[in-house]
Amino acid sequence: MPLPTSVITVNFNAGASLLACVRSVLASTAKVEVFVVDNGSTDGSLAALAGELGSDPRVTVIEAGENLGFARANNIGIARAQGDFLLLLNPDCVIEPDTVARMQEAMERYPAAAIGGCLVLNPDGSEQAGCRRAIPTPWRAFIRAFGLARFFPNHQKLFNDFVLAREPLPPAPVEVEAISGAFMFVRAAAMRDVGAMDEGYFLHCEDLDWCMRFRQAGKQVLFVPDIRIVHDKGRCSRDRPLRVLWHMHRGMIRFYRKFFAHQYPRPLMWLVVAGIGVRLSALGTLTLLRRGRSR
């Protein structure tokens, strides 16, 4: 008898989205178990979940008591998971009843794939930028930051950034370099070979880190274009935009130092880190101005 797919969602003040997410998972045609790891939420989202689904034996709530960060909280759920497959799912995502079953089938058709993602849509139906992408090397990040790809349309191999959302969808599952951390369907045996998420990241870039490590171990990252979910991106972080920006850029620095420091001259890496700092300052200032206007 096949084991249930273990679905892990990390909650931090996701509001009504958490209940909608778990409800959509429990409607799956495939057998599932759900672990909700709560990072010290204070918005009543856990109470709402308990009120409607608290008696469902498939749902386990793990209260961390504080905000442990995305990677560490996911790892708590991973340690409890029993399934042959794990689905790391953001609490602001809603899946279809056949999503889990179809992802299982896709992973079984592609045995070399260790981790799979699907087409992640914004609420307006547009493709979310991060659901299929190349690894954002320092060079690709430079190209994207300055929009150089549009000036060199005939040299896409050299002047290409890491977002693939503008490219046509492939007709069938295809290997990519990275997928979105909002939806990561993982083969448990492959994860045990590579290890759980790097807890040195608090928020952002831990998904890229995991994809890099799977690929370095000779395992594939699979993108399945005909399976679609909706992700209301940033629902858990809208009230703390500056904190999110800080952790995002801190994660970028860790990611570059971990995987690219040996490939780039040290002065160039200093420039990369300085550029990340400038970007953080600019986005932080812009965020403060926007919040001031909204008030």
Per-residue pLDDT tens for 141-192?
666 666 666 666 655 565 566 678 788 999 999 999 999 999 999 999 999 9
Q: Are residues 130 and 205 in the same domain?
A: yes
Domain containing residue 62: CATH number: 3.90.550.10
Q: Are residues 115 and 257 in the same domain?
A: no
Residue whose C-alpha is closest to residue 197's, from 182, 213, 221, 183? 213
Q: Are residues 282 and 163 in the same domain?
A: no
| pLDDT range class, residue 195, cuts 50, 70, 90 | very high
pLDDT of amino acid 203: 83
pTM more than 0.75: yes
Q: How far is CA 62 from CA 9, 31, 40, 77, in A?
A: 10, 20, 10, 8
Q: Are residues 46 and 171 in the same domain?
A: yes
Q: Are residues 250 and 222 in the same domain?
A: no
User: What residue numbers bound the domain in which 166 lies?
Assistant: 5-231
What type of residue sits at position 147? G
Helix (H, G, I), strand (E, B) or coil at 176: strand
Q: How far is CA 30 from CA 83, 118, 182, in A?
A: 12, 17, 20
The tokens for 30 are: 């495939």
Percent of the chain surpassing pLDDT 90: 64
Rg, Å, the chain Cα set: 19
CB 87 within 8 A of CB 8: yes
CA–CA–CA angle 167, 258, 270 (5° rounding): 90
Q: For residue range 3-28, list pLDDT tens digits in order.
A: 899 999 999 999 999 999 999 999 99
| pLDDT range class, residue 262, cuts 50, 70, 90 | confident
Q: Are residues 256 and 275 in the same domain?
A: yes
CB 163 within 8 A of CB 215: no
Residue 74 has pLDDT above 90, yes or no: yes
In a domain, 254, yes or no: yes
Q: Are residues 222 and 260 in the same domain?
A: no
Range with the poorest average pLDDT among 105-114, 139-148, 207-216, 230-239: 139-148
- Can you tell me the mean pLDDT for 124-131? 92
pLDDT of amino acid 55: 94
Range with the poorest average pLDDT among 64-73, 135-144, 183-192, 251-260: 135-144
- Can you tell me the mean pLDDT for 48-63? 96
Q: Identify the residue with better confidence: 154 or 100.
A: 100
In a domain, 236, yes or no: no
Q: Are residues 89 and 162 in the same domain?
A: yes
Q: Are residues 25 and 167 in the same domain?
A: yes
| pLDDT range class, residue 295, cuts 50, 70, 90 | low
